[in-house]
Amino acid sequence: MVSMLAVLWLSRIVMAWWQADRITQADAWSHVWLQGFRFDAVVMGMIWVFPAALTPLMALSHPTQRFWTSALRWYGGFMLLAVSFMEMSTPAFVAQFDSRPNYLFVEYLGYAKEVGGTLVKDYSAHLLAATVGLPLLVWGYARLSRLPARGRGKLNIWQAAPLSLLLLATLALGARGAMGHRAANPATVAVTTDHLVNEMPLSSLYTVMYALYQSRKSEEGGITYAEMQHDRVIDIVRRESGVPPEAFVKGASPMRHQQISRHPRARPLNLVIVLEESLGAEFVGRLGGLPLTPNLDRLANEGIWFDNLYSTGTRSVRGIEAVVAGFPPTSAVSTVKLAKSQRDFFTLASFLKKHGYESTFFYGGESHFDNMRSYFMGNGFDQVIEQKDMPPEAFIGTWGASDGDLFEVAHRRFLKQSADKPFFALVFSSSNHSPFEYPEGGFELYEQPKGTVNNAVKYADHALGEFFEKAKRSAYWSNTLFLVVADHNSRVYGPSVIPIERFHIPGLILGGAITAPDRIKSVASQIDLAPTLISLMGVSGEHPLIGRDLSDPVQRARPGRAIMQFDKIQAYMEGTDVAVLQPDRPPRVMRYSDGILQDNKTPNPGLVEMAQAHARYAQWAYQRQWHR
């Protein structure tokens, strides 16, 4: 263990000396050293927790003790070699990819010819150092790890058992890297906008192992529902996006195109997205649900309201992926958690950065949950405001600060923003989440007892109403565009093959610049929101979004469509017609009407092809890194 720690710290010191300017610029020297201790404990805990815990038990007799001593020596040598190899490989990888080794390190092992040639030509010094250094390390370890044959006494069970438990508990805690209910992960150290500086406290063995852990989460982009020709897929997706053919730009991404704002402005609008946790249509009076959202219902008369907006999935990260990145769903886990989308993935933040925007993620909980911090900081966001940044008087529940406290922090930050520099903020609420904890007062409970989902929705609406009352009286109201939208429904369940009624969510665009209230009655998807917002903000530029700009009357006149993912099932709905894709089964054509999904005996091969093309495109867009 001492040898491993020595290697890790020697490597980190060399890396810090090499990248000193970047660390200084990020003001992250203390971060590198303190978090380095933390994540070295994580790695040591992972490597040694079970061998160390078994060691006292193996000392119950001389034969097992001799066997275990030899086994530990070989195991320690192998792990020391693995740690050292990864650290020696790091400088060359950083030079090429500006990152510690990640999924590419493993992926490129399949290209021995190309990688070998690159190493010999461009990184011969690194190769020589590893060729000489690793054998020397093995030789030194072999000599130093020879223990004296005498003086090792046996233990009895009463000594061995508690010692074993103590070692297990201590090293397991080290492996978690945290005392709280969430273990440390790379998102924990994503505190700067410099990805490499964020990775300095980590070790390369850890980053590769974590990348492999992520890769098991459907790195191929999920299920292939149908094989299709590349050109046919692109033709369909382009046609359905509503983008004119002449707008597409030749390049690596087949969907990259120039969007010209239909609402040009001398100064583009700020953007604030309020992502409401689990706010399904059944809670919204305006959508025929329970009378729990009087403030949202009232605000709906002041902006652009979506009558038939559908989420792409059932998890918060799926909603983030759709709203912030405009990415369509797959059967894989959200791209927020996948390896290839942790850097240079298209988001509104990365798009707006080129237009001078400063982007901030506001969250009442711990931002490393679901890998959010790492995803955002790697894809255009400049700052994260989270639970630890809330004021001392804030109400802190299981999922973090209350919506009211979160909105107050965001509002105060918006007041301080420069009038000359536009900003983008994503404010992600959490009060409407089991166990439904929120501060008392200010609104009337819907029912008793207090801790119910209906009361939590009522509180979340109350906090939202207070926020907009303050925003309307502020200087930023007149030049800010707001989107209020749910990440997903509260519970997606039902007897249907896919419970479409549980994907129906509210959506509202408003702000001082929205002078003519409007209603979008056609079916719409979360992936349509990003291009619509870009146009309304008065921003033009290139991007790979496949959603429709619903500020365009031509697009509004088309039959709306929504894509929904429910575990391994994907639905493509156009109007009331639905194509349902399932693995290893033929597609089903169905009809959704009055909240009921039924089989439609009339074939609709065109709709099925559209569904299959969008599912295949989403896979390829992730695999081939088109969404850039």
Q: What is the 3-state secondary structure (H, E, C) of 15-84?
A: HHHHCHHHHHHCCCHHHHHHHHHHHHHHHHHHHHHHHHHHHHHHCCCHHHHHHHHHHHHHHHHHHHHHHH
CA–CA gap between residue 446 and residue 502 (Å, rounded) = 22
Average pLDDT over residues 389-417: 95
Q: Higher pLDDT residue, 370 or 624? A: 624
Q: Give residue-wise pLDDT tens across range 205-234.
A: 998 888 777 666 556 778 899 999 999 999
Dump pLDDT digits (tens) for 333-374: 899 989 899 999 999 999 999 999 999 999 999 898 888 999
- Write phi, then psi, for 24 (nearest 5 degrees): -65, -45
| Architecture, CATH, for domain 263-558 | 3-Layer(aba) Sandwich (3.40)
Alpha carbons 599 and 128: distance in angstroms, whole number:
66
Those residues with Cβ within 8 angstroms of residue 262's Cβ, 6 or more apart along the chain or in another chain = 535, 549, 551, 552
Instruction: Count how many residues are written for the chain.
Output: 628
Q: Where are the domains of the chain?
A: 2-215, 263-558
Cα distances (Å, whole numbers) of residue 545 to 351, 449, 580: 11, 45, 23
Closest CA to 460 of 511, 413, 412, 402: 402
* Residue carrying structure tokens 């979008």: 520
Residue 31 is encoded by which pair of tokens? 């971060």
pLDDT at 524: 98
Would you call 619 helix, strand, or coil by DSSP?
helix
CB within 8 Å of 612: residues ≥ 6 apart? 225, 226, 228, 579, 581, 587
Tens digit of pLDDT for each residue in 593-614? Answer: 988 888 998 999 999 999 999 9
Residue 114: per-residue pLDDT: 47
Confidence band, pLDDT 50/70/90 cuts, at residue 485: very high
For 246-292, the pLDDT digits (tens) are 999 988 799 999 999 999 998 999 999 999 999 999 999 999 999 99
Q: Give the pLDDT confidence score for residue 374 in this predicted structure.
A: 93
Q: Which residues contact 515 (CB under 8 A, 6 or more apart)?
A: none
What does pLDDT average to over the chain? 90
DSSP 577-592: EEEEE-TTS--EEEEE
Task: Tell me the average pLDDT across 98-123.
Answer: 62
Helix spans in 510-579 (H): 529-537, 553-557
Q: Mean pLDDT throughout 150-165?
A: 81
List, in order, residues 6 or more apart from 168 with CB less than 8 Å away. Answer: 49, 50, 52, 53
Q: Pick from 428, 332, 435: which is nearest to 372 by CA?
A: 428
* The pLDDT value given to residue 113: 47
Q: How many helices (H) and strands (E) does the chain have?
A: 20, 18
Tell me the C-alpha distance between 580 and 552, whole Å: 29
Is the whole-model pTM more than 0.85? no
Q: What per-residue confidence (pLDDT) applies to 111?
A: 47
Q: Is pLDDT larger for residue 175 or for residue 119?
A: 175
Q: Which of 304, 275, 277 is nearest to 511 (CA)?
A: 304
Over residues 504-521, the pLDDT tens digits come to 999 999 999 998 999 999
Sign of CA dihedral 185, 186, 187, 189: positive
> Is-cis flag, bond preceding 291, omega within 30?
no
- Percent of the chain scored above 90 by pLDDT? 64
